[in-house]
Amino acid sequence: MRVLVLNGSPKKRSDTFRMTERFLQGLNPAGEHAITVVNVIEKQIAPCRGCFGCWQQMEGHCLIDDDQNGILDLYRTSDLVIWSFPLYCYGMPSHLKAVLDRTIPLVKMKMVQQDDGRVQHEALADFSKIHTLVISGCGFPDWEGNFDALRMQCKQCFGNLTMVCVPETPMLNVPQAAVVADPLLSRFEQAGAEYAQSLTLSPETIQELETPMIPREMYIRIVNGN
């Protein structure tokens, strides 16, 4: 399986990427999969100009001559694309959103109605085999609404989607929190193995991965230093 990992954290020691790394260890224990990790923050990716030049003359590429065309080439030949990023203002960080916006060369202007009533642009080629996994960490404790906008956006944008949204992820880089962080990271490794088998995760697995490491009130108290 060809796996493209889009690491959207701008940090060297990303809380979110710690989970993704363990997931990859479980997914690829014997190194049989070809995994490419792109640290998006290190790439030159300008915002989309909205010129639609891609639809008029570029055949699956973007008129802007920067690193995005290389990402598009990796994307279209992947079996699995993992979007790994921290939640920023209830969505994805802007540099990663630029990557998402600029996947527009992969579709045509032509619109098609899906069976569920949604209207989408027709894909340039059959990308239905590409699976998408979103792993997003965030700084708030678990509360209804924090991930809602992101979940909706990903549902509209990606086919074959599996999403894991994890609260309290700054705990993963606090040595004193290892007692609760390590079991979560182990669970991510198991989830990677599960994904390699089934190309999805069971609702039970997702629920376990999304369960807060510590209760909300305790987390807020620790963050606030009291």
Ligand X SMILES: Cc1cc2nc3c(=O)[nH]c(=O)nc-3n(C[C@H](O)[C@H](O)[C@H](O)COP(=O)(O)O)c2cc1C
Per CB under 6 A, the segment of 7-15, 96-104, 107-115, 210-218 that binds ligand X is 7-15
Q: Which amino acid is at 110?
A: K
Question: Would you state the torsion angle of the CA atoms of residues 136, 137, 142, 146, taken in this order, to the nearest 10 degrees?
Answer: -60
Whose tokens are 């990663």? That residue is 96
Least CB distance from residue 192 to ligand X, whole Å? Answer: 18
Binding to ligand X (CB under 6 A): which residues in 88-107? 88-90
153 is an interface residue for ligand X by CB under 6 A: no
- Alpha carbon 186 to chain centroid distance? 19
- Bridge partners of 80, per DSSP, are 3, 131
> Between residues 25 and 39, which has the closer beta carbon with respect to ligand X?
39
In whole angstroms, what is the distance from residue 210 CA to residue 198 CA? 19
Least CB distance from residue 172 to ligand X, whole Å? Answer: 8
Per CB under 6 A, the segment of 73-81, 138-146, 156-164, 201-209 that binds ligand X is 138-146
Binding to ligand X (CB under 6 A): which residues in 14-43? 14-17
83 is an interface residue for ligand X by CB under 6 A: no
What end-to-end distance do the CA atoms of the chain give, in Å? 48
The tokens describing 129, both together, are: 């085999």
Residue 38, SS3 per DSSP? strand
The single residue among 169, 188, 201, 213 that binds ligand X, judged by CB under 6 A, is 169
Question: Which residue from 199, 133, 132 is spatially nearest to 164, judged by alpha carbons?
Answer: 133
Per CB under 6 A, the segment of 59-67, 102-110, 139-147, 152-160 that binds ligand X is 139-147
* Total of chain residues touching ligand X, rule CB under 6 A: 18
The single residue among 137, 162, 201, 209 that binds ligand X, judged by CB under 6 A, is 137
Question: Which residue from 109, 103, 151, 111 is spatially nearest to 130, judged by alpha carbons?
Answer: 103
86 is an interface residue for ligand X by CB under 6 A: yes
146 is an interface residue for ligand X by CB under 6 A: yes
